Structure 1
Amino acid sequence: MTRPDSGGDAPVVLVRYFAAARAAAGTEAEPAPAGGGLDDLVERLAERHGERLSTVLKVASFLVDGVRWHDRRAPLPAGATVDVLPPFAGG
C-alpha cells in the first residue's frame, strides 16, 4: 500500500497493522484522519473495527514513521505512517 496523500481536503495517516492487530482489523493497512493525537486515532480505529481491535489497541505499541511515539496527545503529522504493534511472543 502506498503512503497516504497529505494533500487534498483532510490530512490522513496510513495505519499499518501487524500480527494480532492485522487479524483484528481485518486489513493490512488503511488510511485514517490525521487530526488529533494517537489517543484520538486509537479511539477512531476502535469505533471503526469494534471490540476485538479495541482489545489489541489497549496493549499495542505504536511507531510513527518508524519512531516510538510516547506523547499520545501530540498531533500526528499528516502523511505519516503509524504502525500498530501488538505484543509478540518469543524473543
Structure 2
Amino acid sequence: MATVTVRYFAGARAAAGRAEEAVPAGRSLDDLVAELAERHGGRLVPVLAVASYLVDGVTCHDREEPLPAGVTIDVLPPFAGG
C-alpha cells in the first residue's frame, strides 16, 4: 500500500499521542486532515484547525491536490510568540 508519513510537532504531537504515523496516499491534504481529526478526535481537532502544513518541507498552497506516495507531511501548530 502506498503511504505518506505524517509527523506531528509540539502541541500536535501531544494531542495526537504520537510523533508520526503512516497513512494511505492519494488523497488531498484537506481529506487527510479530516481523516486525522476523525481518527484521533478530542484534543487534536482544534490543533489541526490552526496548524500549518508542510509537504516535504514546503508550505502547502493547494490543499485539494492529491498527495503522492512517499511524501512527508509536517503538522506544525502555532508556536509561542507567533
- Distance, in Å, in 2 between the alignment partners of 1:65 and 1:21 is 18
**Distance (whole Å) between structure 2 residues aligned to residue 32 and residue 20 of structure 1:** 20
Separation in structure 2 between the aligned mates of residue 44 and residue 33 of structure 1, nearest angstrom: 11
Partner Cα separation in structure 1 for residue 64 and residue 15 of structure 2 = 24
Q: Alignment partner for residue 79 of structure 2, among 74, 78, 88? A: 88
Query: Which structure 2 residue ranges, 5 or more long, are not aligned?
Result: none
Deviation at 1:35, TM superposition (A): 2.1
- Sequence identity (%): 70
Which one of 20, 28, 34 corresponds to residue 19 of structure 2? Answer: 28
Higher RCO (CA 8 Å, separation ≥ 6 residues): 2
Does the residue aligned with 2:78 lie in a helix, a strand or coil?
A: coil
Decide which structure has the larger Cα Rg and report it: 1
Q: Structure 1 stretches of 5 or more lacking a match?
A: 1-9
CA RMSD of aligned residues (A): 1.0
Aligned to 2:5: 14
Aligned with residue 76 of structure 1, among 54, 67, 76:
67
TM-score by length of 1: 0.86
Task: Point out 4+ residue stretches in structure 1 off by more than 4 angstroms.
Answer: none
Q: How many residues align?
A: 82
